[in-house]
Structures are given as C-alpha cells and as structure tokens.
Structure 1
Amino acid sequence: MKKTFLIGLAMLSLYSCQKKETATDTAKGVDSTAIDLSATTETDNDSAAVNNKTAPIDSKVVDMIRKQLTTVLLTKDLPAMTKEDRFFYYDAFDLNNDKKDEYFVGFSNPYFCGTGGCSGFILNNDGSLLNKFTVTDFPIFVGTTASEKFQDLIVSSKGILYSVKMKNGKYPSNPSVQEKWKGAVPDQSQAILDIDNKKLEKISF
C-alpha cells in the first residue's frame, strides 16, 4: 500500500514538472513572436515614411529656375497666367555625363497642358535653355543609348512612347512626330519628372 502511494506521488510530481516546462516554453514562444512582429511593423512604418517624403530640392537650383522662367522663358506668358498657373516641378539628371546635372522643368496645369500632354523645358546646368518640349506625358524616361553624347529619351505623348534623340544639339520638341518606341521601357531607365509617384514638390514662381 505504501509502495503504491509512493509510485503515485512520483508520477504526479513528474506530470507537474512536464506541465510547468510546457507552459514556460509556450510563454517563450509568444514572447519571441511578439518581438518579431514588432520589428516587422517598425520596418514597414519606416518604409512608408520614406515613400511619403517628397524628393529633396536644391534652393539654389529653384532660384535659378524661377529667374529663368520669369525673366527669360515666360515673359510673354506671365500677363495671361493666373496665380494657380504659376508653379512648376523640376528634376535633375546628367544627360551628357559631364558630372553636371541638366534640369527638367515641367508643369501640370491647364495653361501648359492640353489633351495632347504638357509643355516644359530642359535647362543646362547654368540655367540656359537646352530644349523646349510639348505634348508630353510625364514621366520622361532616360534611355540606355546616347546620341551626340546626350542620353536618348523615351517620351510618352497621348499614351504612345516615342524615341527622342539629340539632333544637331537639340532634342526634337514634339515627341509625337518621332519614331515610335518598340517594346517596354527598359527596367534600368530612370523616370524623370515622375510627378505622381515621386511626389515632387510643387514650386511657385
């Protein structure tokens, strides 16, 4: 009788230890999962914050573009423009690999945009005019080939892509009369003036 009681007591003690170990392991598992979820949430929040930021701007470049627009490029247009018309977006890219950026200046209001697309400018690094463009949809893509030492462009007009190449020191201003681009835009082509996705800052002038 005493022997039977001792065996039962030993079995009860063993069962209690196993239950305690299982509960501890489970608790550890919950804690580990909670840490992982917290880390994932923090990373996702950081990514969202980056995606919501506007692209950085250079105040000196902005001042230069403003000056060119108001004193050179749009002097005849200014009297007819409303306050709502007077804003632009800009983007920078070194088109001729001289370690100096050229500046794409685009607009997205009725004064500069119509059913065919929008107008804009490409400025040299010193602010002088390199090119005008018309009936253009944004963004503009930088191609993987070059002509006259300047990168070729892939430009959309009315939803159709065109190959725009430097000719005699200028890009053709109307992409819709150029050769149609065949196939998709290459993955490595950088998007310029990607106003919607890059959330470029809207700048008044």
Structure 2
Amino acid sequence: MKNKILILVGIVAFYSCQNKDNSKNIVKTIVQDTLSKTIGGTADLSDAPPRDDKAVALIRKQLNVLLKKDLLSMTKENRYFYYEAFDLNNDNKNEYFVGFSNSYFCGSGGCSGYILNSDGNVINKFTVTDFPIYVMTSSTEKFYDLIFESGGKFHHLKMKSGKYPSNPSVQEVAKGNVPKESTKVLDINSKKLEKYSF
C-alpha cells in the first residue's frame, strides 16, 4: 500500500508539471490511465521491482570477496548478477537470493548462486539449479522450505543445521506440482529483474 501511495504522489507531481495544453499530450493519457489503475487497485506493480541500492552494494561487496580467486579468469560479460529479496525466517530482515545467468556460472546441469542474510553473510551456496526458485509456506528450523528445479524435476529443500542443501539435484523430488501458494523468486528468465555488475 505504501508503494502505491508513493507511486500515486509521483504521478500527480509529474502530471502537475506538464504543459497546460495537454489535449494532445500522450503523457497525460498514460498518467491518467496509470492513476486510475492505481486508485482502482488494478495496476501491476510487480513489473518493476524496487531497487535497493544498499542491497546491491552489499551483494556486490560480498561477491568480490567470495569470488576473489575467480575474478582474474572471468570476462566482463560474466561479472554480473541478479538478486531478489525475501524474508525467509520472518525476522523482518530480508535475505537475498543471488543468481547468475552466464557461461561462467551455468552449465548443462544448471546455474550456481547464493542465499545471503541481511548482513551479506552466506547462508548457502547452491549449484545445478534452474530459475526461478519457489519459497513454500511450510518451514523447517524457522526458515521457509524451498523448491529448486534441477534436471527437469522439482526438488524440496529444507533447512538443516542452519543451511539448505547446496546441491538440489540430490534432494527429495517434490510430490506433485509446485503449490499455488508458493512465492516465485529469482525468476531470471522473466526478464523483469535488473542485472548488476560486480
């Protein structure tokens, strides 16, 4: 709701700064359409995930430490990441799913990535996975269970001793389809996530 109000305020401010002769102004039409959808609750705000510069800086700093030995052999094209924030343990602090989509981090079995806590420390490194990842409503050790796709199958990952398993492909195959109430994160293939360099 807070995001909708901020968007509404921004739209009104933008609209008020427009030229007074708006009869043929395409911006006016777009603003009015967006305004009516926002007020009516039908605007799709999921297309533009909020950018968190602090999170990007934190992840970038941690990747430069974690991948220090790899940096010399990586090309510029391989030095980028995607991320998505999600509070995995309901402590009101986001954890960060960090994924890659290039030949250095991906192979025939899938891609690698990380789950970082709110301070940037590694909770998990994972391998051989396809994106997106699904966060379930069930939990183990106060952390939500996850579903990773690997090798064309969905695998159920549960927290154990403070870690999720790092290789999803050897974990229990999830029974049935991904539950509808699960939340999709790190959907790199949707082209909606921004790419960041490190």
Cα distance, 1:196 vs. partner?
2.4
For 1:196, what is the secondary structure of its paired residue? Answer: helix
Runs of 4+ displaced beyond 4 Å:
49-53
Give the RMSD, CA atoms, in angstroms. Answer: 2.3
When the two structures are superposed, what TM-score results if normalisation uses the length of structure 2?
A: 0.77
State the partner residue of 1:23: none
User: What is the match of residue 166 of structure 1?
Assistant: 159
| Distance of 1:54 and 1:109 partners within structure 2 | 23
Alignment of 1:63 with 2:57, yes or no, is: yes
1:78-121 deviation digits (Å, cap 9, x = unpaired):
01100000000000111111111100000000000001100000
Q: Counterpart amino acid of 1:74? A: L
Match of 1:4 in 2: none
Do residues 152 (structure 1) and 145 (structure 2) align?
yes
Gaps in structure 2 of 5+ consecutive residues: 1-28
- Between the aligned partners of 1:65 and 1:150, the Cα distance in structure 2 is 21
* The structure with more radius of gyration: 1
Matched with 2:96 is: 103
Which segment drifts farther, 122-131 or 54-63? 54-63
Does 1:120 pair with 2:120?
no
Residue 179 of structure 2 is matched in structure 1 by 186
Query: Which letter maps to 2:154?
Result: L
Q: Distance in 2 between matches of 1:76 and 1:96?
A: 32
- 1:131 matched to 2:134: no
The separation in 2 between residues aligned to 1:141 and 1:167, in whole angstroms, is 18
SS in 1 for 2:164: coil
Instruction: Work out whether residues 120 and 134 of structure 1, in 8 Å CA contact, stay in contact via their aligned partners in 2.
Output: yes
Distance 2:101 2:180 in 1: 26
Q: In the TM superposition, what is the alpha-carbon distance from 1:158 to its structure 2 partner?
A: 1.6
- Please give the alpha-carbon distance, in whole angstroms, between the structure 2 residues aligned to 1:130 and 1:167: 11
CA distance in structure 2 between the aligned counterparts of 1:125 and 1:181, rounded to whole angstroms? 28
Structure 1 residue aligned with 2:20? none
What corresponds to 1:21 in structure 2? Answer: none
CA distance in 2, matches of 1:105, 1:63: 13
Per the TM alignment, residue 52 of structure 1 is displaced from its structure 2 partner at its CA by: 9.1
Task: Map 1:25-64 to 2 at 5 A.
Answer: 42=33, 50=44, 53-64=47-58
**Distance apart, 1:146 and its partner CA:** 0.6
More helix by share: 1
Between the two proteins, what is the percent identity of the paired residues? 65
* C-alpha contact 1:89 1:200 (8 A) present in aligned 2: yes
TM-score (norm 1): 0.74
Find the counterpart in structure 2 of residue 176 from structure 1.
Answer: 169
